[in-house]
Each structure stands twice: as structure tokens, then as C-alpha cells.
């Protein structure tokens, strides 16, 4: 599986987690995997730019951005509610 497919798969995992009852440990696992993958891609940025990786996969990146925006729209309100609730418990 290439990095784009792996990244898309992890985003799909987040989407599935969003549809289920919230489980912070599962969310944290997926989030850590995403962060590790992003760090790896960032560390290879110069190499990937030389290989035209980003240009060759432009449509996939646009789909990924769209997926991220969709997840963000769904998850941020939930995260704010959880954050508000946890603050009120202090």
C-alpha cells in the first residue's frame, strides 16, 4: 500500500469512528498513525517534490483535502462539546 492509500485508509477509519460511539483510545490510535505518516511524508518532502509525486497525485490530494474538511466539520463540534464537558467537571 502506498502512502496515499494508507493515508486515505486512516481517514476512512476516522470517519468510521465518527459514526460509532466516541472512543478516545481508538481515536488516539488512528490519530497517532496519521501523525506518524504525515511526519514521514514531511521528512521526504524534497525527495517527493523532485519525483513530481505531488503533481502526479493532484486529484488524490484534492480528494484527501475534501475528506479532511468533511471530517473536520463533523468532529470539531463533538470535540468542543467533550472539551466543554470535561472543563465543567473540574
Structural domain boundaries in the chain: 3-88
- pLDDT of 7 strictly over 60: yes
**Helix, strand, coil share (%) of the chain residues, nearest 5:** 85, 0, 15
Tens of pLDDT, residues 34-86 = 888 888 877 877 777 777 777 777 777 778 888 888 888 887 777 777 777 77
Instruction: Give SS3 for 90.
Output: coil
CA gap 37, 74 in Å, rounded: 22
For 84: left if phi > 0, alpha if psi spans -120 to 50, otherwise beta; the answer is alpha
Judge whether residue 90 has pLDDT over 60.
no
pLDDT for 56: 75
Calpha distance 75→3 (Å, rounded): 24
Q: Which of 66, 90, 82, 68 is nearest to 21 (CA)?
A: 82
**pTM greater than 0.75:** no
Amino acid at each position: 500500500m502506498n502512502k496515499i492509500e494508507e493515508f486515505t485508509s486512516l481517514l476512512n477509519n476516522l470517519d468510521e469512528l465518527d459514526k460509532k460511539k466516541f472512543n478516545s483510545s481508538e481515536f488516539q490510535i488512528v490519530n497517532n498513525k496519521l501523525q506518524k505518516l504525515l511526519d514521514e511524508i514531511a521528512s521526504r518532502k524534497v525527495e517527493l517534490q523532485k519525483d513530481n509525486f505531488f503533481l502526479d497525485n493532484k486529484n488524490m490530494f484534492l480528494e484527501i483535502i475534501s475528506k479532511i474538511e468533511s471530517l473536520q466539520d463533523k468532529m470539531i463540534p463533538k470535540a468542543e462539546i467533550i472539551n466543554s464537558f470535561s472543563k465543567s467537571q473540574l
